[in-house]
Structure 1
């Protein structure tokens, strides 16, 4: 290790030590964190006590008038600290439970897009229906319905660490300021109350939610003055026909404040404890999502995703975090809030929420919930596929026709590359008789003969001015477009429940035959169905592959085992794509048919005799080797030399034996 390396390592170590010392929390921060941990621990103790009391004595007697009201009084009437023997916390825990017989009331808040039911139990959202969409069975599409599917809870602490859980309380509806607003109130006195204010604008998926706490400026725990502890849990319904495929796109997304969007695992249980500020998180299925967007970033957020083995639900999500609160200087109010988005995972709809945001770091980037492929690839969908697709949608054309036009446009754009690839194949094809002569001149499959055949073939290509790699490059250039469309179709909610021919829903598979039960291996790879479009695509692709192999066969037998690999890959794609959307398989079917048509046309138009004459003329010209051909020839010579040396070494070993 030289002197410069040692010096560099010492400097790096010094910087790390200095950075650690600089960023360690001071005494006030440590004490604040400890108070927060103590508050959380108090809640967990109270929950445990509550569960123990419920097991021992059942539910609170529902005949008691105003059950739960003492809990509210204990919270608002923050007094001196309780003595060690005081049972205030225990009393709170037992009386805070809303008896099961208490009548629940629901209030409807709706516009043209969303119908939301608010419950007096907990003052929270009971149900969300998206009015423009249907479940795959044809029923109303509900993101969730009832406390078994979604729960919201706000945990508050007074200065004596007495805890109030809002989901345990009965709220009273209060008239909103207009028809788009509803206030749910938990009141102790005219000057002391908790309001949950819901505001749903017309023709919007986004709803505003605000918490207003009155009469507790001097009574709240110091941590609750600046942060409210929130819990949100939701079971994700199976909305689509293809559960296995739907699971692949059902996951939690979240965005760090002024940073990029991240996502959790969709295939296994996942748990994240995020200490950095979080701007939003989403509970997403394939085509719909619930997003909670902070006015100010959430802190110390915990996200949990669990895969469910349930016929009606795919995942269960939970979120826990701290909502920043603001103390009003002009009134006795403490407020906090965020926005709910209940709606489709539609790229343009989600992107529109950033249209008036000039600074890129302040953009919400909600459209990142739409998975359009890898970052280096998604630009094809964002800047080409989606605008073209939406243009034809605006003309009210049928989905089958739109996919056909999109396929033709892609083929037209890539036609120059296709032509160049075909010309490269044609040049090697007309040289096939000369390459077959090399097979006769250097017969056998031992390493030395194979090397001589390859060297002779490369020398022929160089003299004739043929680059064997020139046909591969155009195909590689086309790959971003082809891959982008592979990611676009499963993410396009526009295809959902749109029919074409025998397929009644292009966003999921179409069935030729289907069955129930589990057939070993077959069910694992195919599911319980066979898709018609996928089957047609496979048959056409196998035909084209065999035809293309005969067209591009140069006569070389260097790797005979690879001869059937393209056909094997075509058949493999059937098993891979059988559960993918019918729209994607329809696109591949059309794309292959158009490619076959273009190949037949080019074969008729291009005169291979002229190509051969041009190549023969090239042989007579002085030809400078290209860098690629020179390197390839040099590599072959080195390989041949190593093969000869290896053969001599083997001969010596055999002689010694």
Structure 2
């Protein structure tokens, strides 16, 4: 490697250390707060006691009542809280009489860290589905009763309208709410614009990408909207700032089929009845001082959202009942697809959905045959390489043809070294004369780029790969760290190093006679990938490494063949016919 190559390699290593320092400084673990005393319940924001992870309530969907003695630090005094639990095979839902809503949802088949349960809205200051006026975030006290496997809350509004809220569990991760307004008065009553809280989208790890913490909505016109945590930051370029940080972001006012908040792998989706659609979504950035590791420095942050609904008109002596569906669970394509109303758009694949959806389908169906997702990725990569094997062989043949033309090209380079335009024209003429396509070797790479981007996009929300191990990899959705350098704090991730090493070998095999500095530099370009993929999900470098190994074997086999003898392409004979006016 020449001087420029060494300089490029050194810059890559410096960039790697700089990026690792940035990640540790801004997103790394912080000293935890002092441990609470034994038996003391964890206190969430606003003084709400967080649910214990014990076996509260009754199983199989039956409602269990849990008393509460703590007080809520709100402007108006609230009576003691009552809690109830409904659970099925997938979720355990904790309800509260403060707001007559969902305090939190525990996902039984998923874990946050180790054996720690994964709880949605764990640090939320407001329960999911809390109903409030258009202005203000107040909680109201509801009367509670259990009716079989249903949880029922009720209260009388200042206007005299009775509000009843009945909850029950659907299949899997679905929670149903029947909300009923009853107007006993002899006059018409108008319930003004109101809102429902969607809860808090919060990270699981401090290093979760901030852009994955977001809110989505799907309009009645079929348009997908999105607000994410980075949208609350200042906007600018090259040090020029044209907008400061924002505390609140409002969506366009339009009817919405569904609204949702989501993290990298999980989501809470509200599907309203078709006769009562929300028309506005408001989001705020909410710091999480109680998030593990937030004892000092910049705390983690979540995103809180409310869905706004139009006013409800109640004729004298009438009742209006509407049913809402809440999905609180993983962002699995099949589950979201079954919800209907385009709920699978929550995955937000964008333009690359046409690649990602087949990839997800293939991965999930291969996993039914192969129990390990690491092996699934390897088998899937081998299948892709088998499909494109003829195309890669044709590209290698083009490379051999270019090798046969190399002596003539060197002659042209020496002859026209002071006339670059003339040299380029003569080279193109040489290619045409012998029927050689100089871009023939680029086609396999161009074809595989969409698959690579599809893998990258899929891994942003591939909950199926979460906590799936393979060899030394503990989690395919996280880096394959095996150790950490004590002084530098640099994680040692072997798989990206292997990926870059195989990429360098492949680059040198495909251009062995590189003599100009630019070509030699291109052989070491894969080192730059180390900076971008060093801390990425291990599934992506696993796919790319297997892809490189198969390409190396195929290229070695093709290069063993002798250099072809090129012949000039016969020019078509001019036709003796001519057009006459």
TM-score bucket (shorter structure): 0.7 to 0.9
**Structure 1 residue 474: deviation in Å?**
3.9
Taking the aligned partners of 1:516 and 1:104, their CA distance within structure 2 comes to 48
SS of the counterpart of 1:254? Answer: strand
The 1:387/1:106 distance shift into structure 2, 3 A limit, reads: same
Q: Does 1:339 align with 2:295?
A: no
Match of 2:555 in 1: 599
User: 2:152–2:164: 8 Å Cα contact kept in structure 1?
Assistant: yes
User: Which consecutive unaligned segments of at least 5 residues does structure 1 have?
Assistant: 1-58, 60-93, 158-162, 355-363, 626-657
Contact 2:198/2:260 (8 A) holds in 1:
no
What is the alpha-carbon distance in structure 2 between the residues aligned to residue 424 and residue 588 of structure 1?
A: 23
Question: How far has the Cα of 1:114 moved from its partner?
Answer: 0.9
Name the SS of the counterpart of 2:377 in structure 1: helix
Separation of aligned partners in 2, 1:406 and 1:148: 44
Could you say which residue in structure 2 is the equivalent of 1:255? 218
Are positions 1:184 and 2:157 aligned together?
Answer: no
Q: Would you say the 8 A contact 1:275–1:299 is kept in 2?
A: no
Q: For the residues of structure 2 that align with 1:345 and 1:328, how far apart are their CA atoms?
A: 41
Q: 1:505 aligns with which of 475, 484, 507?
A: 475
The number of aligned residues is 478
User: Which secondary structure does the structure 2 equivalent of 1:145 belong to?
Assistant: coil
Offset at residue 481 of structure 1 (A): 2.2
Instruction: Provide the residue aligned with 1:317 in structure 2.
Output: 304
CA gap 1:495/1:327 in 2 versus in 1, 3 angstroms: same
Contact 2:99-2:127 at 8 Å conserved across structures = no
Structure 1 pair 308–533 and aligned structure 2 pair: CA distance change class (3 A): farther
How far, CA to CA, are the matches of 1:623 and 1:474 in structure 2? 31
Distance in structure 1 (CA, Å) of the matches to 2:389 and 2:408:
30
On the 8 A contact 1:98/1:168 being kept in 2, the answer is no
Higher relative contact order (CA 8 A, sep 6+): 2
Indicate if the aligned counterparts of 1:250 and 1:286 stay in contact, CA closer than 8 A.
yes
Distance change (3 Å), C-alpha of 1:217 and 1:137: farther
Q: TM-score, normalised by structure 2?
A: 0.75
C-alpha RMSD of matched pairs (Å): 3.2
Gaps of 5+ in 2: 1-46, 48-72, 233-247, 293-299, 575-581
2:167 to 198, 208, 218: 198
Structure 2 residue 494 is matched with structure 1 residue 565: no
| Aligned equivalents of 1:271, 1:401: Cα separation in 2 | 43
Cα pair 1:417 1:475 within 8 Å, conserved = no
C-alpha separation in 2, matches of 1:148 and 1:451 = 68
Q: Deviations over 1:212-238 (max 9, x none)?
A: 22234556653x1xx650141633332
CA distance in 2, matches of 1:187, 1:307: 31
Q: More helix per residue: 1 or 2?
A: 1
Which residue in the other structure is 1:294 paired with?
Answer: 272
* Residues in 2 aligned to 1:334 and 1:149: alpha-carbon distance in whole angstroms: 26
1:490 offset after TM fit, Å?
3.0
SS in 2 for 1:268: helix
Does structure 2 retain, via aligned residues, the 8 Å contact 1:131–1:140? yes
**Does residue 1:129 correspond to 2:106, yes or no?**
yes
Bigger CA radius of gyration = 1
Q: Displacement, 1:328?
A: 8.1
The 1:109/1:471 distance shift into structure 2, 3 A limit, reads same
- The answer on 1:284 being equivalent to 2:262 is yes
Pairing 1:9-24 to 2, within 5 Å after superposition: none
Change (3 A) 1:623 1:217: farther
Matches within 5 A, 1:147-296: 148=125, 150=127, 152-155=129-132, 168-176=139-147, 178-179=148-149, 181-186=150-155, 193-201=162-170, 203-216=171-184, 218=186, 221-222=189-190, 224=191, 228-232=193-197, 234-240=199-205, 243-269=206-232, 271-296=249-274
Report the counterpart of residue 487 of structure 1 in structure 2. 457
Aligned counterparts of 1:624 and 1:512: Cα–Cα separation in 2: 67
- Aligned residue among 68, 72, 76 for 1:97: 76
Residue 403 of structure 1: how far off its partner (Å): 0.7
* Separation in structure 1 between the aligned mates of residue 495 and residue 126 of structure 2, nearest angstrom: 36
Residue equivalent to 2:283: 304
